[in-house]
Amino acid sequence: MGYLLFKTLLSALLIVGASEAGKRNPLIGATLASIPLVSVLAMVWMYLESGDVVKVTQFSRDVLWLVLPSLLLFVVLIVLLERGIGFFAALGLAIMATVAGYWWMLYWLKNGM
């Protein structure tokens, strides 16, 4: 239970740190947010708990492909905000585009690769 609490607190601190840094300097906040901290932490926890390099390798490969549809969030959000769409509407539409991108990529990875 202590280990799970440690993982949760460390992960939360990294997210809050990026958010707080972004308030002071958007570029620094964006830099921190763009570092694949969640993926790195997941790989570290996965390896420490299982020692399974094959599982970490497959996880890394899957993340590599799934980063592509995640970029839709930022592209769609920027385009919509620049066109004057309200923030929450733009964010909602960007999230929907990202979900559609994930569905397509997961389908492609499962059936077309």
Q: What is the pLDDT of residues 98-112, one digit of tens each?
A: 999 999 999 998 887
Across the range 88-100, mean pLDDT stands at: 97
- Listing DSSP states for 22-69 in one string gives HHH-HHHHHHHHHS-HHHHHHHHHHHHHH--HHHHHHHHHHHHHHHHH
Higher pLDDT, 85 or 13: 85
pLDDT at 113: 61
Please state the domain count of the chain: 1
As a whole number of angstroms, the distance between CA 4 and CA 10 comes to: 10
Mean pLDDT taken over the chain:
89
29 lies in a domain? Answer: no
Domain of 107, in residue numbers: 53-113
12 lies in a domain? Answer: no
pLDDT in tens, 18-43: 888 888 888 888 777 777 878 888 89
28 lies in a domain? Answer: no
Does the pTM surpass 0.85? The reply is: no
61 lies in a domain? Answer: yes
As a whole number of angstroms, the distance between CA 18 and CA 7 comes to: 17
